[in-house]
Amino acid sequence: MLARRRTLVLLAVAFASVDLTHKLVVHADYHHVRTRYMAFAMVAVITGLVTFVPRVPSRAALLGAAVAIGGALGNLCSLFIWAQQGVPDPLVVRGETTGLAFNLADVFAVVGGTVMICAVLIHGMRCPSAFADRPSARRVA
């Protein structure tokens, strides 16, 4: 499990690095401010995923979690790097009257979380005994 956790963290750092590099290189017209309370929430999510996802015997879940953690880590670092002017949002989708501005960390968090949840659900449907055999999942009579 230690090797899976190490792989998870290394991949997450790689995705966070891609996000931070993109924010540094590409000019952003839009910025958004995140509160310090969001930092606590991001740390809680990152800690939970790093703790529990390596226990699921699914490479797809591990990869999805790594991408999601990379997004959360990229947003967490951005919160401190761009504290004064707000986190840059270099990706913009414009509509006729409104638009949507976001960054790669947001994309990583959403896509990675979706892949991870789908992988865990699929693994649970294919191998229900993998979760039922754990001592914490047994019913006490």
For position 3, what pLDDT does the model report? 94
pLDDT tens profile 65-116 = 999 999 999 999 999 999 888 999 999 998 878 889 999 999 999 999 999 9
Residue at token pair 């986190």: 87
Tokens 């924010």 belong to residue: 23
Domain count, the chain: 1
**Can you tell me which residue has the tokens 């951005």?**
78
pLDDT score of 99: 87
Q: Any idea which residue has 């006490």 for tokens?
A: 140
Q: Which domain covers residue 14, as residue numbers? A: 2-137
Per-chain mean pLDDT for the chain: 90
In this predicted structure, the answer to whether residue 137 has a pLDDT above a threshold of 90 is no
CA 54 to chain centroid, in Å, comes to 14
pLDDT attached to residue 34: 83
**Which of the four pLDDT bands, split at 50, 70 and 90, describes residue 139?**
low
Residues 6 or more apart from 40 whose CB is under 8 A from it? none
pTM, rounded to two decimals:
0.87
Confidence of residue 127 (pLDDT cuts 50, 70, 90): confident
> What pLDDT score was predicted for residue 42?
94
For 53: left if phi > 0, alpha if psi spans -120 to 50, otherwise beta; the answer is alpha
Structure tokens at 65: 């979690």
Question: How do 91-94 and 99-102 pair as beta strands?
Answer: antiparallel
What tens digit of pLDDT does each residue of 35-58 get? 889 999 999 999 999 999 999 999
